[in-house]
Structures are given as structure tokens and as C-alpha cells.
Structure 1
């Protein structure tokens, strides 16, 4: 049996806390208590007890994209609110190079960059069901829902104790990575060797949830929205 890693990270003032819970929470070095839900992808994200997707869904609502993430048969690699905040901070630092008092907020994004969000959200969607059985260690190339863009999804063994590995087990656990491609892929793809100039590699902190509308995975809190580096 494959040892599948699913983990959920919550930022706190004291640092990063790893939380082990039941049902719609995520655990380290194990599996979800329930890998299916009768809720749609949108409603499942909305019901998250830690409110990890409130800002994401706010922008989704403003952009009128609820039906996009609820499409039947898609796989959505959802960014958390941390990813959006990371993006806002990066944009603020960029703006402050010209104006030290500038601030790029979520209101700024909604007011000026909603069309960018509408287009870029499709880079988080693969228009088919992605399962562990369809993946390999080196990665599989998929077209995303954004015309002309691709992603490499890999299911890789890990020997990192921070990601669930322990010498007490005979088999190394496997984790999923989502690499958004922004350059030209080599003829032979090895996901872990894709350089930063070609792709942005993001750890999936939760994977394998089947909603009533499709598959849902969640990207690491360290991710920056729109795959900014």
C-alpha cells in the first residue's frame, strides 16, 4: 500500500504548528479520515474550520468564478489565503521601490487585477481527474485550463523527516508536487530536476480529496499566488 502524505500547516505567532485532526482536517504521515465529501469543491473550501480559504473565495466570488472551480471532472490545486498574502506582500515591496508608502492590498487586487485573477486561476486547474495511480516519480505533463499552459504533477518518495519520513517504516512515504511550467520543457522530464527558469515547483500539502464535483488538492502555504518567485 502506498504511504501517502497529507499535511496541513497553520501559521501562528509562535511559528508553524502541525495539526492532526479528523474528517476535513489534514494530518502528517497518514491519510484523511474521509477522502470523499458530498460537498462541492467551493463549499468544501468554504466549510474549512480554519478559514484557510476565505480570501481566495472572496476573490473567486468577486470574479464570478464559483462555477469554474466547481466544474465536473476537474482537479483544482487550491492556493490558500497564505499564498494570496505572500503575493500581496511581494507586490507591496515592488510598489514601495517607487513609493515607500505604497500598499498593495486585497482591495487593490480586486479593483485593478481581477481580470488577471480570472485568467490566472486557470493555471491551478487541470481539466481532468488526477489520481495517484496516474502519476509517476518523474512526473506527468498536463495541460492546464489556461490556454497554452502546462503543469508537471509528480508523486515522489521523500526521506525528509519534516515531510513524514521515519526510519521506523520500511517504505518511504510519497508526496505530490505541482510544477507550473513557464519555460520550455526538456524532451525527458524529471520533475525534481526542472530548473526555476522553466517551472515553479510547489509542494501539495493536501491531496486526494474527491468532492461532489471533482478532485481537490491544496498547495503549500509558502506558495505565492500566480506562481510568482
Structure 2
């Protein structure tokens, strides 16, 4: 009986170890196993298996920006959620005027221009591992002020790794880049707005870098 119990314990520990090792493969940037993709940036977004960029592809197609997206040195891609966040905000705004009002993707096309999407097309190749720890200006295809930064994340109490964890942030600069370590008021209209990347380091076959912004990001507004 003892031998059977010991055998059961050993098998259980072995299965637990195997399972934990298998899970660890999915702990990097949402499970991206290969940084290099045989697809172009546009193809990668269009063929995403979870259809995370279907609305973004519609916006790209509407403004005929496929070649611009493929040719960007870095593309910070907003997801469907990000664009829907913007549409929902606008819908809530017009319904405060009249509860029967609505706001759709077609309305958004009437309100914004292609430069709204060009904000996300950086003219420089940006990578997480080489990104500066302080906000640094970077030119974009819309010729507006944007910046990027790598930020060290607080380590949780029960961390599975002793390695430091950094996230890449894309920044919409308003009224000049905020000084490092400066204290700003939350309602300051000139405060810079940061969007965190949930996945980084995708290298499409068309060249450049592709980073995916967090689903909580709001298109254009950050």
C-alpha cells in the first residue's frame, strides 16, 4: 500500500512539473513563440487567429493605408477594443444631447482623417529591449508629438521569476514632453498620455516592428 501511495505521489508531482513547464511557454507577451513572422504587417493583422484587428483592418482599408502600414519602421497597433472604446465614448457624448442619437464607424470616418491612424506609425525602429527608461520623443507619420518609454513593473509578492519585467509605452505628447519624475495634476490638459503595449517585438516580413497596444487604450485619445 505504501509503495502504491509513493508511486501516486511521484506521478502527481511529475505531472504538476510538466504542466507548469508547459504553461511557462505562454508567459511572454501573451504567448508569442516566434518573433519573426512570414506575413507582412497588414497580413499579420488581417489573419490574426482571434480576429483582434478586424476593425483596425477596416480603418486601414478605408484610408488606403496598407502600403504605409507595411512600410512603417514601427507600428503601434490599436486593437478592435481600442477603436470600439472611442466609438462608445462618442456615442455616449451624442446621446447626452439626444438619447436616440447613435455613433458608428461611418460617423468616425466623417470625423477623423488618415493622420489619426498615422500617429501610430513611427518613423524609427522601436524595440522593448533598447527603449530608454525616460520618455523620449520619436517622429511619427502624422508629424505630431509622440514619445516612447520602457517602464520597470513592480514585482508581485508571489513572483514566479526574479528577472525584472519591463513594459513598452507609447506616449501622446501634449504641450511638450513632461519632465522626468515631475508631479502633474490628473486633470492637467497638457499631461502626456501613455498607452501600454500588451505584446511587443513582432517582426513582420515587410520589415519594421509591430507592437500591440493594450485593449484598454482608447483610439486617438489614448
CA contact (8 A) 1:56 1:84 kept: yes
1:208 lines up with 2:201 in the alignment: yes
Q: Which residue of 2 aligns with 1:136?
A: 132
Match of 1:185, SS? coil
Give me the CA root mean square deviation. 2.4
Quick check: which has more Rg, 1 or 2?
2
Deviation at 1:160, TM superposition (A): 5.3
TM-score (norm 2): 0.79
- Aligned equivalents of 2:138, 2:90: Cα separation in 1: 29
Q: Which residue of 1 aligns with 2:173?
A: 181
Q: Which residue of 1 aligns with 2:154?
A: 159
Match of 1:70, SS? helix
Change (3 A) 1:223 1:101: same
- Aligned equivalents of 2:36, 2:184: Cα separation in 1: 32
Query: Where in structure 1 do 4 or more consecutive aligned residues deviate above 4 Å?
Result: 192-196
| More off after superposition, 30-39 vs 204-213 | 30-39
In structure 1, the gaps of 5 or more residues are: 1-19
Q: Which residue of 1 aligns with 2:215?
A: 221
Match of 1:86, SS? helix
More strand by share: 1
TM-score (norm 1): 0.76
CA contact (8 A) 2:124 2:138 kept: no
Q: For each residue in 1:104-126, what CA deviation from the matched residue of structure 2 results, as whole angstroms up to 9, or x when unmatched?
A: 0112223x23xx24011111111
CA contact (8 A) 1:29 1:173 kept: no
CA contact (8 A) 2:199 2:211 kept: yes
In structure 2, the gaps of 5 or more residues are: 1-22
Match of 1:134, SS? coil
